[in-house]
Every structure is written in structure tokens, then in C-alpha cells.
Copies of this chain bind each other. A is one copy, B any other.
């Protein structure tokens, strides 16, 4: 075990570290967090934060969550906040100022961009790219190789916080393997995007998106099939040569870290 620490690092009880871990300045790690090997945690990051309730909540004392797990090879950016009960598999890259809430799981090699908010109880697959400032609503499920462009907004409540019905109907979004959403699009609650389904930038998605279909507009309608060259099965990274680790800086993609 070999942990290199910056100044003013705070480490709680029963925190576990693998080999070759680097912790930046002012990093805060709460009780019970498990950090793998070859992990970098950058300045001002907070890991293992318990969710907060209002002080007068009756359930205040019940909610201590299970450990946060940060897999081998993960990079946790500057001023990120990772909640208790989040599980990051191997080589996840969480960029600056992103937040990952409680009971979220994130698969191997996924990139969580700068300023991204992944809300509670989401399941995110492997090799996804969630780009700068996108917003993943609570209870969403994303497959593998999903691409969410910058500033995409997803939702889970068609009732805008009113009526008793909403508690029954609240539903995040579901995106199958290879699904993609263009920049600043808005996706309504409960929407399903099938395999390789693709949404144009700035669209408002009110209906499910079919497999390999490109939809555009407000409300979004089918424009055409996704080009063959863009289908997941025709990409190199769909064939097992995992080159994900060189995307951010070599290609100029809008990854913030």
C-alpha cells in the first residue's frame, strides 16, 4: 500500500486503499470508502458523503449508506463530490465539479464529464461518455457505450412535482447500448432510447426512440436511419480494442478533465 497525500487531507475511519494512490490537496474521504489501486483523487474532492435530509426529518438517523467504492485506475477530478453508496468500476474518469449521488453504479471505462450530475439510483454502463454539464435524472438506466452530449437534460416527473399520482408514475430514462443524445436536448420522463437510437442536438424527446433511428426537433421526429458508419457494431471500440483511455485529450472531445 502506497498512498501519496497532498496537504490538509481528511480521511475517515475504516477507509481502505489499494496500491499507488494519489490524493490531492484538501481531499476529504468519509468513513468506509474503499479505494482501489492506481487511483488519483484530485484537489478538493469529497468522497463518501452521506445524503442530507432536513434536520426535522423523522428518518434522519436511518440512512447511513453502504460504502463508496472507487475501482482500480479511476481518476476523480478536482472539486467532485461522490456520495456514499456509489460504486465506480475500473478506470472510470470523473471530471472536475461533477457529482455522483448515492446508489449510483458506473461501469468500467466510463467518462463522467466536467460538471455532470448523476442523480441517485442511476445505473450507468461501461464505456459511456457523459459530457460536460449533462444532467442524468434519478432512477435512469444507461447501457454500454452510451453517449450523452454536453448539457443534455433528462427528467423523471411528468407531473412537475404536483399531485399524488406522480409518486407512482415517476420514472427516469432508459438508454440501451449505443444510444446517443445530442447537445442540449431535453428528454421527457420515462423515455426509452433503443440500441443505437440517436437524438439530434437541441431536440425535445417526447416519444421513445427506436433502434438505429435518428430523431430531431421539438417534439423530436424520425429524420432518418443512423448512418452505418456510426453504429456501435461498426466501431473499433465495439470489437474489444478498448481505446477509450485516449479519447479526451487526443481528440479534443468535450471532456473536461
Contacts and interface: CB of A to CB of B under 8 A. Distances in A.
A117 B115 contact: yes
Interface size class of A (residues with CB under 8 A): 35 or more
A153 B8 CA distance: 36
A65 to B, nearest CB: 11
B201 A180 contact: no
B186 A161 contact: no
Contacts of A125: none
24 contacts: A10-B25, A40-B55, A43-B49, A52-B93, A53-B246, A55-B91, A56-B91, A79-B81, A101-B256, A115-B117, A129-B161, A132-B135, A135-B150, A150-B153, A151-B151, A155-B254, A162-B230, A162-B231, A162-B232, A164-B229, A167-B251, A188-B201, A202-B204, A217-B218
Interface of A: 6-8, 10, 25-26, 28, 38, 40, 42-44, 46, 49, 51-59, 63, 73, 75, 77-79, 81, 91, 93, 96-97, 99, 101, 114-115, 117, 119-121, 129, 132-133, 135, 137-139, 147, 149-151, 153-157, 159-167, 170, 180, 182-184, 186, 188, 198, 201-202, 204, 217-218, 227, 229-232, 234-235, 244-254, 256-257
